[in-house]
Structure 1
C-alpha cells in the first residue's frame, strides 16, 4: 500500500469519509492525476505539477483542500479561502455533505490551467 493511501485509511472520522469522497471526485475528474505523499499529507499531481492536497485539521475540525494559484476565479470566489497566503488557497469541508463537486472541479481546473504559474 502506498503511503498516501495508508495515511487516508488511517484517518479518524469524519476526516476519513471526507477525504475518501474528495479522492473519488478528483480521480473521476482528473484521471491522470497521481496520488503522492508529500510533506506528510496526500498530494495529487497532474502533468508533473501539484493539483491539490488534502490536509485534515483535527484541531479545527475540517479538511483543507489546498491548491496553488494567484488568480481570482470567475465563479465561486466566496468559497475560496486564502487567509493571507499569496500562492496557496483552499476549500474547506467539515462534512461530506459540504462537498459540492462542481465547485471543487471548477476551482481545481482553473487553478491548474493558470498559465506559467508553476514556473514562478
Structure 2
C-alpha cells in the first residue's frame, strides 16, 4: 500500500470520507496531477510544483484543502480563506462532503493548475 493510501485509510470519519471524495474530484478533474506523500500529508503537484495539499489541523473539525498559490486565486474564488495567517496558502475548510460545491471546486482546480504551470517558483513569498 502506498503511504498516501495509508494516510487516507488511517483518518477518522468524517475526515476519511471527505478526503477520499476530494481526492477523487482532483484526480478526475486533473488527470495530469501527480499525487505524492510529503511532510506526512498528501500533496498534488503539477509537474514538480506543489498545487495543493490535504490536511486535518490539530484542534480543528474540518479538512483543510490548501492551495499553495491560493493568494493569487482568492479574488476569483472567495471560498478560499486565509486560515492561520498564512502568507501564500489559502484553503477551503470542509466539515462535510455536502459543503463542497463540486462545479466551483473543479473550476478552482483548473485555475490552480494553470497558476502552477505558469509560475516560476512554487513558494514565491
TM-score (normalised: structure 2): 0.84
Deviation at 1:117, TM superposition (A): 5.1
Contact 2:66–2:91 (CA under 8 A) maintained in structure 1: yes
Post-superposition shift, 1:73? 4.5
Q: Matched residue pairs, number?
A: 119
Which of 95, 102, 121 is 1:118 aligned to?
121
- Cα RMSD of the aligned pairs, angstroms, is 1.8
Aligned-pair distance for 1:99? 1.3
**Structure 2 residues without counterparts, runs of 5 or longer:** none
Moved over 4 A (4+): none
- Alignment gaps of 5+ in structure 1: none
Is structure 2 residue 9 aligned with structure 1 residue 6? no
Conserved? CA contact 1:73–1:107, under 8 Å = no
Structure 2 Cα separation of the partners of residues 47 and 113 of structure 1: 11
Does the CA contact (< 8 Å) of 1:73 and 1:110 recur in 2?
Answer: no
Q: TM-score, normalised by structure 1?
A: 0.87
